[in-house]
Amino acid sequence: MWFDQGNELFDVCRTSFFAYLLLALPIFVSISPTCLASKEFSAFRLQQFELHGSSYGTSGSLLNLETRILPGSPMVSSPRRCYVVRLVDLTVNMYKDLLTAQVAGIVIIVPADLSSISGEIRDQIQELEQAMLADFTTVPVYFIQETQEVNQVYQTIKESAESLGAASTALQTLFHHVHGNGVQLVSSLGSPKVMSDAQILSIQGALIGTKSSRSFPILISTHYDSMSPAAELSFGGDANGSGAVSLLELARVFSHLYSTRGTQKYLEDQVDSSDQSDLQDTRLVVCLDSLTTNPDKLFVHVSRSIREGTMLNTFINNLKKAAIHLEPSLTVEVIQRKIRTENLLSWEHEKFHLKKINAITISSSESPSLVKSSMLDVKDNVDTENLAAKTRIVAEALAASLYNVTEVGTAFSGSLGVSDESVNSLLEFVTSQPRSAQLLAGKQNKFVQSLRNVLARYTHETSLFTMKPDKRDANLVFYDGTSGTIVAYDVKPAVFDLVLSLAIAAYIGAVYLAIKNFSLIYDSLSYKLSSSNHHTSSTTNGTSGSHTSKVKAQ
Amino acid sequence: MTFYHFGNCIALAYLPYYLAYKHSGLSEYGAFWKCVATGMIYALTQLCKMLVLATFFPVPGSQRDAAVTLDAFQDVKNPLTLEFFKASIDLADLIGMYIALSRIPGRGHSKCLTAGIGWGTAELILSRFLTIWVGAKGIEFNWKYIQMSFDANISMVQHIMTAALVWLWSRHDVKPSFYPVVAILAIIGVYKGLLIDIFSLASHIDPWTSLVIKLIITAFLGGLTIRVYSTVA
């Protein structure tokens, strides 16, 4: 009996058109394209990296959410809400609140013109950036650059937020839902992966003089990468573009003093010997970092007491003399600080110091925590003349220490000296692209190659050292997925569709009535009114039945 | 938007066709397969039109294929003229409609309705359904799918009207003085879309208003058609 019934049911299914529809529908759903993109922005994800086993930045990348705006909307912990906020409006506390509320996403609009921001807002942004880099979160955080389209989207969200906030009655809210638009942001980035082939490249160039000084070189060191919450937005003008520029300029200036001949043999020896022993002989390491943060200050950071008669002492004294001679308004201060290994933020020279090498860092920052990893640090942030002046001082002091000149500040002059134009063009080159470590970590990176080429122009021979993080026990891990696309869609809430359904139902009802009573319309329009027309009229039904009803619906 | 929104659009587009079919007496005649046949003729007509369009009309910007492009159109620089010629290809619809009508037996009203509804439904399925399917289901909301569905309703009136006019033209008992009226109405029906498009583009009218204009014009033409039709039927 059950079998018979089943057979019947099967027959019904087979003959029914809806059965085919049921079969076809999932196929249609799966093959249909999902969206038509309307507005696309390139977006930069907050940095993600691991250092000494702890994570920094964000691990989130997924974004497919309706938006709310800040300030203006209440902060609600919801897995479907993403908050859009301008960088200038965002404070550290707001950011922390957002993370605590476990919102589903944060999109930060970065102003198009970063160099014009100043004063309190600049400090606020820099404070926020440090907080972002110090924290770790799973909330996806994106930066998008302000464009006209971004502003349009922002305006749409803002209007939506305002009308929702102001609407006091339920009816007004409903009206807004039907009338206004929401915005849904969708990110194209997949989940970030560890960059397994990341490497950090160091470039070394050498200027070789006489035999005696050859064995006790002076090392000038600086890091050329930069840091900011968004990898693609870290142009690092001051930190540490200024250091890199200064180093290249020093190489250029000193290259005039060294002959290029007869060095090939020495260099071959150099390459053969391990660089460790080479380093042990180093008389002094001078690290350059963030030279233009304070325009009229230059700090010399040391980690040990300065003894009389050492190269270190001579150099510092010469630095002071050179400053007085060249830039009387500029003060040189020596800061002694014991190395604290647990601190992540440290000066570069401390690394050398741990290897028992005399090392100092020259910087215009008082402490490493004041070196801002900021995306505000663009080329315009650097005062080229100031940088040139400071480079000149370092060059003079170096020359005086190397050649035991008593009259400091006269070694370089005219075309041989540090020139503003050269500093400017070098700065332009260095800040021409973002130099976040993970962006430079690829093999055969173009920027590193060209940096090496510049150094090779001024020094006798350059070599490239590669540092690869250990795969099993890495204390530095980079993640990819630094940039992607965010697409903004206009959307309506679900209520809108319900209201629309009601309107359509009313309209269809009107159409139905018009078709049912079409004979009335037909009669009123027909040429001759006679009873024989009634049949015809009911058939022509469709003709203008729908348009009358449309007029009603309108 | 959601699948539900797609359902809304489809309901708006299809239900009037369904209601017209169900409540005009066509369903009692069992005219379903006649409608399908008309739909086939519609598809065939569109295929022929597309062949002509693709052969003779140069695509702006692409390299001209001098061998097949008609000389007359090669020198057409004015886009309006070009659009006019393109719209003229739609006159083939009248021929297609005539063929469809000739294959449907029965009285005038059922003939016209079957041809009109079959033609309109085929157009809805072949040219609008996919757009609505792709568009209305996407994440992005856009009023144009609702507008398109609404436009399908206006098209239904237009197609039934065209069918009635073609039928009237093929009759011999129409008053001779009405022939020009029938012809003019049919030709206006063909060029109506182009005229409204040009008008709304030129005076920057928003889609809703141009839809209302279309509706009013179609209603007016429909009224006139009924007047002529009622003299015969």
At B126-157, the pLDDT tens digits run 888 888 888 777 777 778 888 888 888 999 89
Alpha-carbon distance A527 to nearest alpha carbon in chain B (angstroms) = 5
Q: Which residue has the tokens 């004063």?
A: A119
B-contacting residues of A 490-519, CB under 8 Å? 490-492, 494, 497, 500-501, 504, 507-508, 511-512, 515-516, 518
A515:B19 CB<8 A: yes
- At residue A52, the pLDDT reads 77
State the Cα torsion A64-A68-A69-A70 to the nearest 10°: -100
CA distance to A396, B67, B94, per residue, from B55 (Å):
79, 10, 21
- Select the residue of A497, A536, A547 nearest B218 (Cβ to Cβ): A547
CA distance to A22, A27, A71, per residue, from A10 (Å):
14, 21, 60
A538:B5 CB<8 A: no
CA distance A44 to A230: 6
- Select the residue of A29, A504, A541 nearest B20 (Cβ to Cβ): A541
Chain A hits for B10, CB-CB cut-off 8 Å, are: none
B1:A492 CB<8 A: yes
- At residue A36, the pLDDT reads 42
- Select the residue of B116, B150, B226 nearest A526 (Cβ to Cβ): B226
Chain A hits for B216, CB-CB cut-off 8 Å, are: 551
Chain A hits for B135, CB-CB cut-off 8 Å, are: 36
Token readout for B195 is 């005229």
For helices B179-202 and B91-102, the axis angle rounded to 10 degrees is: 140
Chain A hits for B24, CB-CB cut-off 8 Å, are: 515, 518, 538-542
- Burial (CB count <10 Å: 0-12, 13-18, 19+), residue A42: middle
What DSSP designation does B128 have? I
- At residue A224, the pLDDT reads 86
A490:B16 CB<8 A: no
Alpha-carbon distance B71 to nearest alpha carbon in chain A (angstroms) = 39
Rg from Cα positions in chain A:
35
What single-letter amino acid sits at A440?
L
3-state DSSP of A336-382: ECCCCCCCCCCCCHHHHHHCCCCEEEEECCCCHHHCCCCCCCCHHHC
- Averaged over B195-208, what is the pLDDT? 83
CA nearest to A68, candidates A148, A173, A162: A162
Token readout for A262 is 């007869």
- Select the residue of B19, B108, B222 nearest A547 (Cβ to Cβ): B222
By C-alpha distance, the chain B residue nearest A511 is B16
- Select the residue of A32, A497, A525 nearest B5 (Cβ to Cβ): A497
- Select the residue of A527, A538, A550 nearest B231 (Cβ to Cβ): A527
Residue A321's DSSP bridge partners are none
- At residue A506, the pLDDT reads 92
CA distance B173 to A280: 116
CA nearest to B138, candidates B12, B26, B1, B42: B1
Alpha-carbon distance A73 to nearest alpha carbon in chain B (angstroms) = 23
Dmax over CA atoms of chain A, in Å, equals 127
CA distance B183 to B159: 15
For strands A54-58 and A136-137, give the pairing.
parallel
A533:B110 CB<8 A: no
Residue A462's DSSP bridge partners are A205
Q: Are B156 and B20 in contact (CB under 8 A)?
A: yes
For the stretch A162-165, contacts whose Cβ atoms lie closer than 8 Å and that sit 24 or more positions apart, written own/partner, are: A162/A72, A165/A72, A165/A73
Tally C-beta pairs within 8 A across A and B. Answer: 164
By C-alpha distance, the chain B residue nearest A37 is B140
Residues 6+ apart with CB under 8 A from A444: none
Q: Are A424 and A242 in contact (CB under 8 A)?
A: no
A543:B215 CB<8 A: no
B137:A511 CB<8 A: no
Q: Are A422 and A252 in contact (CB under 8 A)?
A: yes
Q: How many residues does chain A have?
A: 554
B141:A181 CB<8 A: yes
Give the 3-state secondary structure of residue A182.
strand
CA nearest to A103, candidates A114, A90, A122: A90
- At residue B87, the pLDDT reads 82
A491:B23 CB<8 A: no
- At residue A352, the pLDDT reads 80
Q: Which residue has the tokens 């937020």?
A: A161
Per-residue pLDDT of chain A (554 residues; tens, 9 = 90+): 445 555 554 554 455 444 455 555 555 544 444 444 467 888 888 888 887 778 888 887 777 777 776 666 666 666 677 888 888 888 888 888 888 888 888 888 888 888 777 788 888 888 888 888 888 888 888 888 888 888 888 887 877 777 665 545 677 777 766 666 777 788 877 788 888 777 888 888 888 765 554 456 788 888 888 888 888 888 888 888 888 888 888 888 888 777 654 444 444 455 444 444 556 667 788 888 888 888 888 898 888 888 887 888 888 888 888 888 888 888 888 888 877 665 566 788 887 877 778 888 888 888 877 777 788 888 888 888 888 888 888 888 888 888 877 777 777 877 778 888 888 998 898 888 888 888 888 777 888 888 888 888 888 777 887 777 666 666 778 888 888 888 888 777 777 788 888 888 999 899 888 888 888 888 877 765 444 433 333 334 444 444 433 333 32
CB atoms within 10 A of CB B6: 20
User: Does the CB of B118 have a partner CB in chain A at under 8 Å?
Assistant: no
Q: Angle A52-A58-A64 (CA atoms, 0-180°, nearest 5)?
A: 155
- At residue A554, the pLDDT reads 28
Alpha-carbon distance B66 to nearest alpha carbon in chain A (angstroms) = 36
What single-letter amino acid sits at A249?
E
CA distance A303 to A214: 26
- At residue A5, the pLDDT reads 52
A34:B139 CB<8 A: yes
What DSSP designation does B62 have? S
B-contacting residues of A 21-40, CB under 8 Å? 28-29, 32-38
Q: How far apart are the first and last CA of chain B?
A: 47
B20:A546 CB<8 A: yes
Per-residue pLDDT tens digits for B103-116: 888 777 888 888 88
A-contacting residues of B 184-203, CB under 8 Å? none
A544:B157 CB<8 A: yes
3-state DSSP of A421-440: HHHHHHHHHHCCCCCECCCC
Q: Which residue has the tokens 């965002």?
A: A90
Q: How far apart are the first and last CA of chain A?
A: 56
What single-letter amino acid sits at A43?
A
Q: Angle A215-A217-A223 (CA atoms, 0-180°, nearest 5)?
A: 145
By C-alpha distance, the chain B residue nearest A502 is B8
What DSSP designation does A415 have? G
User: Does the CB of A184 have a partner CB in chain B at under 8 Å?
Assistant: yes
Q: What percent of chain B has pLDDT over 70?
A: 90
CA distance B1 to A224: 48
- At residue A23, the pLDDT reads 53
CA nearest to A542, candidates B121, B95, B6: B121
Alpha carbon B31 to its chain's center: 21
User: Does the CB of B162 have a partner CB in chain A at under 8 Å?
Assistant: no
A489:B141 CB<8 A: yes
- Burial (CB count <10 Å: 0-12, 13-18, 19+), residue A212: exposed
Sheet hosting strand A331-336, strand order edge to edge = A218-221, A284-289, A359-363, A297-302, A331-336
Buried (b) or exposed (e) across A186-206, using 16+ Cβ within 10 A? bbebeebebbeebbbbebbbb
Chain B hits for A540, CB-CB cut-off 8 Å, are: 24, 109, 112-113, 160, 164, 226, 229, 233
CA nearest to B26, candidates A259, A538, A271, A339: A538
Chain B hits for A491, CB-CB cut-off 8 Å, are: 1, 139-141
A-contacting residues of B 122-161, CB under 8 Å? 133-135, 137-142, 146, 150, 153-154, 156-157, 160-161
Alpha-carbon distance A45 to nearest alpha carbon in chain B (angstroms) = 23
More confident residue, A304 or B97: B97
- Select the residue of A504, A535, A548 nearest B11 (Cβ to Cβ): A504
A500:B146 CB<8 A: yes
pTM of the model: 0.72
Residues 6+ apart with CB under 8 A from A194: A477, A478, A479, A480
- Burial (CB count <10 Å: 0-12, 13-18, 19+), residue B98: middle
H-helix segments, A208-293: 211-214, 243-255, 264-272, 275-280
By C-alpha distance, the chain B residue nearest A521 is B223
Give the 3-state secondary structure of residue A6.
helix
- Averaged over B180-206, what is the pLDDT? 85
3-state DSSP of chain B: CCHHHHHHHHHHHHHHHHHHHHHCCHHHHCCHHHHHHHHHHHHHHHHHHHHHHHHHCCCCCCCCCCCCCCHHHHCCCCHHHHHHHHHHCCHHHHHHHHHHHHCCCCCHHHHHHHHHHHHHHHHHHHHHHHHHHHHHHCCCCCCHHHHHHHHHHHHHHHHHHHHHHHHHHHCCCCCHHHHHHHHHHHHHHHHHHHHHHHHHHHCCCCHHHHHHHHHHHHHHHHHHHHHHHHHHC
